[in-house]
A and B are shown apart, each in its own frame.
Chain A
Amino acid sequence: MAGIVGAGPDRTFLGTLDRDEDVVAAAALAHACGWFRHDDEDEDYLAGAVNCFGCRYRRWTSGGFVCLRAALPARLPPLP
Chain B
Amino acid sequence: MDVLISVDDTDDVDSRGTGEVADLLADGLVAAGLAAGRGGVTRHQLLIHPDIAYTSHNSAMCFPATIDDDGLEAVVAWCGRTLAAESEPAADPGLCVAAPSRIADPAVLVGFGRAAKERVCRKDEAFAVAGRLGVHLSEHGGTGLGVIGALAGAGLRLSGSDGRFRGKTAIVADGGVLPVGALKAYGADGVRAYVDGVPVRTALDDDELVAVGDAQAKLVLLDGQAVLLVSPSQGGPAPWELVRHTALRAF
Contacts and interface: CB of A to CB of B under 8 A. Distances in A.
Contact of A17 (B49, B50, B54, B246): B246
Size class of the contact patch on chain A: 20 to 34
B13 A56 contact: yes
Nearest to B13: A68
Contacts, number: 58
A45 B247 CA distance: 8
Contact of B246 (A18, A59, A68): A18
Size class of the contact patch on chain B: 20 to 34
7 smallest beta-carbon distances between A and B, as pairs: A40-B17, A59-B56, A42-B19, A17-B246, A45-B245, A45-B246, A42-B43
B48 interface: yes
Interface of B: 13-14, 16-17, 19-20, 43, 48-50, 54-59, 164, 166-168, 215-216, 245-246, 248-249
B57 A60 contact: yes
Contacts of A41: 19, 166-168
Contacts of B17: 39-40, 42-43
B250 to A, nearest CB: 9
Contacts of B19: 40-42
Nearest to A55: B56
B14 to A, nearest CB: 7
A57 B13 contact: yes
A68 B56 CA distance: 9
A72 B13 contact: yes
A17 B20 contact: no
A76 B249 CA distance: 29
Nearest to A37: B14
Given A60-B56, A61-B48, A68-B56, A42 B246 contact: no
Contacts of A57: 13, 56
Nearest to A58: B56
Contact of B166 (A42, A59, A61, A68): A42
